[in-house]
Amino acid sequence: MRMNDSPMPLHGDNRHAYLALALVPGIGPGRLRTLMEGCGSPSGVLEAPFAFLRSLPGIDLSLATAVQSARRSAAQHVLDDLNRLGGVLLLPGDEQFPAGLSPVDPPPMALFAAGNLELLTRPAAAIVGSRDHTRYGAEVCDALAAGVAAAGVVVVSGMARGLDAEAHRAALTAGGGTIGVLGNGLGVIYPAANRRLYEAVRKEGLLITELPPGERPHAGAFPRRNRLIAGLSRVTVVIEAAVGSGALITANEALELGRDVMAVPGPVTSPTSVGANQLLRDGAIAILEVDDLLARYPEIRRVPGDPVLPAADPASPQGKVLALLKGGPRQADELAATLRLPTGQVLAVLGAMEIQGMVSQRPGMVYGLVKARFAAEGRSE
């Protein structure tokens, strides 16, 4: 049984009581709904007599005992930890609770988020793939994530090592938005190698999870995380994926929700491309360039073939590079020195812009704008 599709927002004591109940192991959204319908409110559930709880359908002895043991103090402890981490609590019925998660099965009972909540209101695409990817997979991921992020599509992924991390980094480098869906609580860095990425996404994007702050990852958390990735996204893109991988689980969740699934074709001899190629064989949409994905977002006004311009954020690295190149071709080192950015970061930005058809590389690591593309709309270098 699903939670009410249009729940009322909760305030004050009811908000604390709801969170206390959501933290009870094994309660689930269906049983929580039964309790709330039977008792009138979350506070009513905590105050209900034991015998009444046992009379409700599906509420057995162990669950009724657990509910009677739930305390608002436990919820307050979680909220204190969340506040210390700079996070916020999102409950069904809250204005900022993502509408796309309502049909997810099971729907999340609570979300803990840190970062830019405005990203939840924008069109989003999931970009997922193998942890043990190839160079080809990384190059495709970088170009795709940078291209759609610069156009205004939020890149959603799972903060895992490999292509998930590549997608987040490329989106941030392009000056776009990204949402990292965690398989653990806020404040836990997993994997440890992603510490810098975790901090960057928290500062410039959004981290979100249904697990309370400080909770360590466990095996069952990652498939549950994958359903949230699919639920937050209009389209799920699989770049490279082995058979049985988490990326394929995310794709299956998207299909269950009736969302589009796209996949990047790979060599039939590559183990990391087996899953993506099977998706294509079974009816997934092939993605060969950024425009294939952006075509699923008609609200983003672009003419096919035009470069993806970061006009919405001139302060982004890509926007700054674009502004400098309008003054004429520049060497990569010169751009890096002018922008006071690492040369590697500037080269990554230029590489994404080159794949998007915005710039071309000339001898001596000199980059310039592609005149024909910019002239199409009356722009010039």
Q: What is the pLDDT of residues 354-365, one digit of tens each?
A: 766 678 888 888
pLDDT at 343: 84
Query: Are the C-beta atoms of 156 and 229 separated by less than 8 Å?
Result: yes
Tell me which residue has tokens 């924008």: 122
Query: End-to-end alpha-carbon separation of the chain, Å?
Result: 58
Comparing 226 with 353, which gets the higher pLDDT?
A: 226
3-state DSSP of 160-223? CCCHHHHHHHHHHHCCCCEEEECCCCCCCCCCHHHHHHHHHHHHHCEEEECCCCCCCCCCCHHH
Q: What pLDDT does 375 receive?
A: 32
Average pLDDT over residues 174-187: 96
CB 302 within 8 A of CB 293: no
Q: What is the pLDDT of residue 301?
A: 63
In the chain the beta strands, taken as DSSP E runs, fall at: 88-90, 111-115, 124-128, 154-157, 178-181, 206-209, 235-238, 260-263, 285-286, 330-331, 359-362, 366-369
Q: In whole angstroms, give the CA distance from residue 54 to residue 77.
A: 28
Please give the helix or strand (H or E) that residue 66 lies within, else none: helix 61-69
Residue 13: which H helix or E strand, with range? Answer: helix 12-22
Evaluate the omega torsion of the peptide bond into residue 107 and state whether it is cis, within 30 degrees of 0: no
Largest CA distance in the chain: 81
pLDDT at 356: 60
1 band by pLDDT with thresholds 50, 70 and 90: very low
Q: If you average pLDDT over residues 311-327, what whole number do you get?
A: 74
Six-digit token string for 228: 């949230």
Cβ pair 310, 152 in contact under 8 A: no
pLDDT category at 220 given cuts 50, 70, 90 is: confident
CA distances from 37 to 102, 183, 194, 286 (A): 18, 30, 42, 46
Report pLDDT digits (tens) over 52-65.
999 999 999 999 99
- Reading the block at residue 357, the tokens are 């058809």
Question: Above 90 in pLDDT, residue 94?
Answer: yes
* Predicted confidence (pLDDT) at residue 248 exceeds the cutoff of 90: yes
Three-class secondary structure of residue 348 per DSSP: helix
329 CB contacts (<8 Å, ≥6 apart)?
Answer: 362, 366, 367, 368
What is the C-alpha separation between 34 and 27, in angstroms, rounded? 10
Query: What's the count of helices (H) and strands (E) in the chain, helices before strands?
Result: 17, 12
Q: Range with the lowest mean pLDDT among 16-20, 163-167, 239-243?
A: 239-243
What is the pTM for the complete model shown? 0.80
Amino acid present at 340:
R
Token pair 């069952």 is at which residue? 220
- Token pair recorded at residue 214: 């400080």
Contacts of range 276-279, beta carbons closer than 8 Å, 24 or more positions apart:
276/129, 276/238, 276/239, 276/240, 276/241, 278/243, 279/238, 279/241, 279/248, 279/251
Which pair of tokens denotes residue 20? Answer: 């206390």
Q: State which H helix or E strand residue 353 sits in.
A: helix 343-355
- On average, the pLDDT of the chain sits at 88
User: Rounded to whole angstroms, how far apart are CA atoms 16 and 76?
Assistant: 7
**CA distances in angstroms from 179 to 118, 119, 124, 252, listed in the order given:** 11, 7, 9, 20
Residue 222 to residue 234: CA distance in whole angstroms: 20
Nearest 5°: the CA angle 201, 203, 206 is: 50
Cβ proximity of 119 and 204 under 8 Å: no
Quote the CA–CA distance of 253 and 231 in Å, as a whole number. Answer: 8
- Segment 310-339 shows an average pLDDT of 80
Question: Which pair of structure tokens corresponds to residue 178?
Answer: 């990204």
The C-alpha angle with vertex 14 and arms to 11 and 15, in degrees rounded to 5, equals 60
